[in-house]
Amino acid sequence: MGGGDRSGIALRGVIMESTSAQGQLFALVDVNNFYVSCERVFNPVLENRPVVVLSNNDGCAIARSNEVKTLGVKMGTPWFQMEALAKQHNIVALSSNYALYADMSNRVVSILRDYSPDVEVYSIDESFLGLDGLESLWPSFDVMGQSVRQRVRQWTGLPVCVGIGPSKTLAKLANHVAKKNSSFNGVCDLASMPLPEMDALMAGIEVGEVWGVGHRIQAHLHAVGIRTVRDLRDTPPPWLRSRFGVVMERTGSELRGISCLALEEVAPPKKEIVSSRSFGHLVHDLQSVGEAVAGHASSAAEKLRTQGGVCNAVLVFIQTNRFREQDPQYGGSIVIPLPNASADTRLLVRAALFGLKQVYRGGYAYKKAGVMLMAIGEARVAQGSLLTAHGADERSKRLMQVMDALNTRYGRNTVSVFSSSAPKPWAMRREKMSPCYTTRWSDLPVARAC
């Protein structure tokens, strides 16, 4: 890295170089207003109406339709605070239906796997695609993006936006641009955008929109005069490093088009916790992969409890070694919804192993397995309910406290869970929940022949 005297021209040189020389290219595909969009697929009444989806126990808004966003309702607004507004504007409030969202998420990921062999499921509604080596398949990646959009919409009913860029941070930014500016028609390819246009675009976006720049860092950046994405991109990385640390330096480099974050090398977003690792040697049998997955679920659950959270869905993924080209390749992932938000290792391990059984295929040599806890919310005191909450009651809380205390005192894995029993039929307890349209025979949507 050069000194602090890099001119804008030189920076652009870096961008050009990295896109053409290294050829790294990523796409981020993100479902618009995911939870609300899932509900709309099966309930036409919700089309063009303001809709919010509420968190566990119908607490606060965790997903908003565009109509609700226009009304000024912020993410996380407690339901009781917007009830008056809801009455006035006929806002439909729904409880979160993770069985539905997980099924729809899995469908979208299946479609994306037909577009790229390298898919990193980043959250329940976002995936990164590696595009290296795929350029000959498409006249341009904009065309590919439109194809993804069209196919996901047609096959699942869900609207998505596609952002493309030479780094994951730029792909994420491109996605933001595609979402906010209707002129892009849902697809923004920053990698092929003329530089003056890119400069103007970046100068018009708040620095807080950059992946990894949270509220607090944003305030610090403002204090030193970095207000837009372009400001941040044009700040010399060594300076960023000295002032904000190595993560911000990396973000700066990524904005210049130098890819620092590989696929899978996930810096987990606040809403997800990832635990994964490559096996020391290739692993073949379900039993061994299962042990690893159970271990990952346990350590992720521990992290979850440390931050006082509960999660609503568990993703499990397995992957063969894609660098051993002589071996047959396979990668699979699935999201398993939980019956209720929980941080209980027993429930999370059970869900992860249940998922593993769905995606595991015999006859492959697996290199990597992992677990991601999704749709994380704050742990709340369990509220009175006729149905038993699974892994969310007082007993569970106390057990987990004892387990964590033992492991802290006597070392990791002094007490651990390995359960391979199938999950019990799970009961939901949410008042305004839509039916589980795609996962329960009794909840199928109705087709009228009358």
Partner 1 sequence: MANVLPLPAHDAPLPLLQKASISAPLCRLPLLLHRISAGFPSPADEYAESALDLNTYLIRNKVSTFFFRVIGDSMTGANIHDGDLLVVDRSIEPKHGHIVLAVINNDYTVKRLYRHDGVIELHAENPAYPPIHFQEHDELQVWGVVIGAVSRFAV
Using CB under 8 A as the criterion, which residues of the chain lie in contact with partner 1 when the complex forms?
A: 44-45, 106-107, 110-111, 113-114, 154-157, 332, 334, 358-359, 437-438, 444-450
Q: How far is the CB of 186 from partner 1 (least distance, A)?
A: 19
Residue 77 vs 438, nearer CB to partner 1: 438
Alpha helices in 181-328 (DSSP H): 195-203, 215-223, 229-233, 237-244, 246-255, 286-306
| Residue 334 three-state SS | strand
- Best CA proximity match to 234, nearest among 209, 273, 213, 203: 203
| Residue 81 three-state SS | helix
Q: How far is the CB of 331 from partner 1 (least distance, A)?
A: 9
Residue 33 vs 438, nearer CB to partner 1: 438
Residue 127 vs 345, nearer CB to partner 1: 127
Residue 334 vs 343, nearer CB to partner 1: 334
Residue 45 vs 406, nearer CB to partner 1: 45
Q: How far is CA 305 from CA 268, 344, 395, 405, in A?
A: 16, 8, 15, 12
Cβ distance 188 to 177 under 8 Å? yes
Q: How far is the CB of 48 from partner 1 (least distance, A)?
A: 11
Which long-range CB contacts under 8 A does 194-202 form with residues at least 24 apart? Answer: 195/12, 195/15, 199/230, 201/177, 202/173, 202/228, 202/229, 202/230, 202/233, 202/255
- Best CA proximity match to 348, nearest among 312, 394, 375: 312
What is d(CA 356, CA 283) in angstroms, rounded to the nearest whole number? 14
Q: How far is the CB of 148 from partner 1 (least distance, A)?
A: 13
Tokens standing for 395?
Answer: 């007993």
Q: How far is the CB of 272 from partner 1 (least distance, A)?
A: 20
Residue 98 vs 437, nearer CB to partner 1: 437
Q: How far is the CB of 113 from partner 1 (least distance, A)?
A: 7
Residue 424 vs 448, nearer CB to partner 1: 448
Cβ distance 313 to 96 under 8 Å? no
Q: How far is the CB of 203 from partner 1 (least distance, A)?
A: 40
